[in-house]
Every structure is written in structure tokens, then in C-alpha cells.
Structure 1
């Protein structure tokens, strides 16, 4: 049986001696799963995402992603891990307004030293696949919210990450754009992309996640498989 993409064992996280943000949490995510993490504010959702992203370390326990123990990495090692192993999609897109759409997508490929021609071909492929290739030379400020999120997804996928992390990817979008992004993430998962998303959007969780986890006070209180889509 192949190793899971995410393998968290007995991970706890405390900040400044307060109550645990995560408490002895164990979680595995297999290749090809789309897992939605739900829960009220303060439940530990962001902490979980930060541990998987290598932006924070557990106070105890282990975090392994795609075979790499990321809780043991140095700061520079964590940065290299994020560039090579994961793609990240944020609520507010985090695109660079002074770069064109194409250059925003190319940036992560340049940071890992991908061949220029290969990077341009990969970026063009993704922009076409995501339906925003006509905006390649435009600047992000001229795009709708849904279009900007599609560009952000292209940027996240340019290095072919083992894992796509999405933090409230529909949170800043209107209803129509949110539906657009839900369909996009569903399609990516059907094409084999492993996804971990944190969301308050129940429609997003129900439509694109093959599995839903609910956190309360740092504990997993529900872990359920979706009905086959």
C-alpha cells in the first residue's frame, strides 16, 4: 500500500503556554484524496494547515508530507520544501499586482530553477487548462475575483506539487465566482491532485471534498467519507 501524502502522528501545538491549538492529533491523507477541514474559529484549522505547510512546527509529535519529515526541517529547508512539494492557494489570492498573469505563474518555477522553456510551456498549459490563457499578458487587477483565483491555482500547480493546500479559497468571492472555484477544485481532484482545504464554505466541502474532517478545540470530532461523486 503506498505511503500517505500527509502523515501526522500525535501532533500537538501550544502557543505561549496556553491551551493546545492542536491536541494529540493523528491524521493521514492518501494520494488523490480531497480533504476539507471544517470547524469554528479557534478550532485549530489554521494551525493544522500551517503545520502541513511547514510554516510552524508541532510542540510534540511528527508531521510527514510526501515522505519528508517536515517537523525536522530548518527554516531554509522548510522554504525549499514549500517550493518543491506543495502549492498554496489563499483567500485573497496573493498575486503580485506589478507582474502579468503569466509572470505570476512563472515565479515559483523560476525559484526552483526550472528550465525557462519548460517553465513557460508549463505555465501556458496551466493557464489554458484553467481557462484564463487569454489573460496571460494582463495584470491581476484587471481580472475578476474568480479569474484571479484561477491564476493563483495555476501558480500553485506550476511545480507539479504532491499536495495542494487551499485556505478559504472561496472566502473572498461572490456566489458565482465561488461556484466557479468549487468546480475547478473538483476537477483538479478528479484529475488526481491531492488537496487539503480549510473552509467555512459547506457547499465547497460537499461538492469537492472526498472526505470531511471537523475540528473542535484542537481535536478531530468527525472524519467522514463523502458519498461517491
Structure 2
């Protein structure tokens, strides 16, 4: 993923992002930190193709996302990007298994294959026993694990996580931190996460990018803490 001199302005005001250049290599996990209004969500939206830059280029998995029209951008996002949100966005009228399989079905995967792929992911992420349950009956940590499974079902090149522990209690947040760490270290999943959770950034990311007033103020590797 590469942003080159990317800026985004809204209604002629100050830039939400101001000439940001950023490269994320395959297999990297990057945490984007910064105060409210620093441009974190804008950056994520540009990478996902949910918004277009005022200037600069956005390239993901070899595709110029900033050049895609609305329909092609939606298809690219469905096929190549996994999205995890703070508030899960699961459909309460569908079972856990149906929620997880939905992106694959929308991508044209046969129903049986989509369900099999979803079931395998749920098992791998430790929530397979809830496959026939409905999301409203589950804990926040369990629902976020299911949201991650749904994001991974189309085998995305890039997983984008927007405050993935923000709505969770301490124990559930730790579950999600452990899951993202496993995906990064053991599965090699490329991840960009926007977070205020310093524990999440330090434990799951290999690199931290800090935004201030729409600019990159820091871009540095995470230094592992050594126990004395």
C-alpha cells in the first residue's frame, strides 16, 4: 500500500490530510495514532476507496484506488480489502455463519463454498461454536472476532481496522489484541489499524505512525519492551 503526497480538503477548509506519503509493505502491521481531528479516519477512508484525495495518489495491491469509479471501488473493496469497525456492524437477523459468509456470497462464491470458508474461519478464530447463534446473544469480544472473520472471508490483501477495541471492555479488548497479533505474526496478514489503544499499538503493530494536524509527525518501528 502506498500513499504519495496525499492531501484531502473538505469545503475549502484546512486539510484533513496534508501531503502525506506512507508505504506499508506486505505482511506489515501499522498502527496509526493521533488526537481527534488529526486525519486518522480520513487516511483509512482513502485507503479503502471510501473517499478520494484532493491531491496525490493511493495505490493498494497494485491498483490505483484513487482512480476507481464508485462501482469499481466497491468491487475492489469487497475483493481486496477487509474492514473491521469499532461497532461490529453485524446483521442481527442473520446467524454468525451467515454474517461471516455474506461478503463471499456478494463476491459470487457459491453458497456451499462460502459457508465452508466462513465456518473454517470461525473455527480458526475460536468462535465456531457460535456459528448458528445470532450476534445479539454474544459478548462484544465474540462479536468483534466474528467481524474479523467476516473481513477475512474474501482473503483480502489488506485488513483495515478502525478502533477495533474502542467499544470493548478490558478483557474483550485483550482478546481482540491477541487475535490481531496472531493474524500478523502467524498468518502474515497486512494490517493498518487506527486506534487510541496504546496497548494495541505496542502489542500488535510492527510500526507506529503518528498524525498531527493531517501530517505525519512520527513513523517509527515498535521497540519491544525488555523485562528487567
Say yes or no: does 1:205 pair with 2:201. yes
Query: Displacement of 1:115 after TM fit?
Result: 2.4
How high is the TM-score relative to the length of structure 1? Answer: 0.96
CA-to-aligned-CA distance 1:65-124 (integer Å, 9 cap, x gap): 000001000000110011011000000000000000000001000000012222122111
Query: Displacement of 1:228 after TM fit?
Result: 5.4
Who is 1:172 aligned against?
167
Who is 1:64 aligned against?
59
- State whether residues 98 and 115 of structure 2, in contact with CA within 8 Å, keep that contact through their aligned partners in structure 1: no
Say yes or no: does 1:223 pair with 2:219. yes
How high is the TM-score relative to the length of structure 2? Answer: 0.97
- State whether residues 28 and 191 of structure 2, in contact with CA within 8 Å, keep that contact through their aligned partners in structure 1: yes
Who is 2:36 aligned against?
41
Who is 2:122 aligned against?
127
Q: Give the length in aligned residue pairs.
A: 224
CA-to-aligned-CA distance 1:134-186 (integer Å, 9 cap, x gap): 00000000000000000000000000000000000000000000000000000
CA distance in 2, matches of 1:97, 1:54: 26
3-state DSSP of counterpart to 1:97: coil
CA-to-aligned-CA distance 1:14-72 (integer Å, 9 cap, x gap): 00000000001100000000000000000000000000010000000000000000100
3-state DSSP of counterpart to 2:27: coil
CA distance in 1, matches of 2:115, 2:101: 7
| Backbone CA RMSD of aligned residues | 0.9
Who is 1:15 aligned against?
10
Who is 2:109 aligned against?
114
